[in-house]
Amino acid sequence: AQKVTQAQTEISVVEKEDVTLDCVYETRDTTYYLFWYKQPPSGELVFLIRRNSFDEQNEISGRYSWNFQKSTSSFNFTITASQVVDSAVYFCALRGSGGSNYKLTFGKGTLLTVNP
């Protein structure tokens, strides 16, 4: 069975602070994919990043960076110099490689509020 845990339910920061969102996952698959999505108040899920289990390189995209560590089954997401527009719910998700079922298993999400 697959499981994604986002222990932080809500985080509140002041603009320009750095913030890290934690994600811990469980899977028996040796090949799997990890995702982060952003969900603004309007409701749509915005894709941020996909990482496969063979690639443990950290990735940086502008103010966003991701730290993937297989040893601790974690895929954490850091926003540097946060902005009010970053306020949203962020979901970590996992897709395994079992059979033909490529469903995403989501965590419960972390609500990030960036205050001016």
Partner 1 sequence: EAEVAQSPRYKITEKSQAVAFWCDPISGHATLYWYRQILGQGPELLVQFQDESVVDDSQLPKDRFSAERLKGVDSTLKIQPAELGDSAMYLCASSPVGRTYGYTFGSGTRLTVV
Residue type, position 50, single letter? R
Does 30 bind partner 1 (CB under 8 A)? Our answer is no
Identified binder of partner 1 from the candidate list 28, 30, 41, 44, rule CB under 8 A: 44
Work out the number of other CB atoms within 10 angstroms of the CB of residue 77: 22
Interface with partner 1, residue 57, by CB under 8 A: no
Phi, psi values for residue 84, rounded to 5°: -55, -35
Contact flag: residue 3 with partner 1 (CB under 8 A)? no
| CA-wise closest residue to 26 among 93, 73, 90, 75 | 73
Among 15, 33, 73, 74, binds partner 1 (CB under 8 A): 33
Q: Does the footprint of partner 1 cover residue 21 (CB under 8 A)? A: no
